[in-house]
Amino acid sequence: MPKTSKEQIKRDERKIISLLQSDAGQSIDSIAKKCGFSRQKVWRIIKRLEENGTIWGYTAVTDNAKTEVERFIVLIKRTTQPVKKDLVERIIKRDIEEMAKKANLEINLENSYFVNGVYDWVITFTARNLTEAKKFCEKINTAYDGYIAELQLLEEVFPVKTQGIINPNVEDLKNFITG
């Protein structure tokens, strides 16, 4: 009889993943204590999750005002034109990031999702200001000419929760909404 069932291993992994998603900077000791596991068990599970690609990486959630950037969301609707292999390769290589860099746009592409619904592609990024964000959208339109039917640029006004982290300045939302 195996020491631990596959179901139990999955439950243990989910506990650790949940804790890492709420604060990836916490120590292995802290995670072990919260899960009731040994430090070694936590380390082994995290290492396995990194090696098998369950955990892609780690990131910091920052205050846009303090980093002097604004966050934007782009909603893209495709045309009915079939996508060619070279376009897929350009998307995978993240050519739009290189184009932004060559145009001296300070863009940090955070997320890029292909979705099902009214729109087909969602991109989130930060830029110094709305002007740079609009220039970036022009670069996207140019890069994928003939494949984009509609592009909507949205500006984030107030982040309540980002990457599972609640904004510590959530009281400012009350001031924003009530004026």
- The ranges assigned to domains in the chain are 6-51, 64-157
Decide yes or no: CATH 3.30.70.920 for domain 64-157.
yes
Q: What is the rounded CA–CA span in Å between residue 33 and residue 35? A: 5
Dump pLDDT digits (tens) for 8-40: 999 999 999 999 998 889 999 999 999 999 999
This prediction has a pTM of: 0.83
64-157 matches 6-51 in CATH topology: no
C-alpha torsion 160→63→94→148, nearest 10: 50
Q: What is the rounded CA–CA span in Å between residue 167 and residue 115? A: 26
**Fold topology of 6-51:** Arc Repressor Mutant, subunit A (1.10.10)
Backbone torsions φ then ψ of 178, nearest 5 degrees? -85, -10
Dump pLDDT digits (tens) for 150-170: 999 999 999 988 888 888 988
Question: Is the predicted pLDDT of residue 1 greater than 70, yes or no?
Answer: no
Extract the tokens encoding 62.
Answer: 């920052």
Please give the pLDDT value at position 2.
56
What's the whole-number mean pLDDT along residues 118-134? Answer: 97
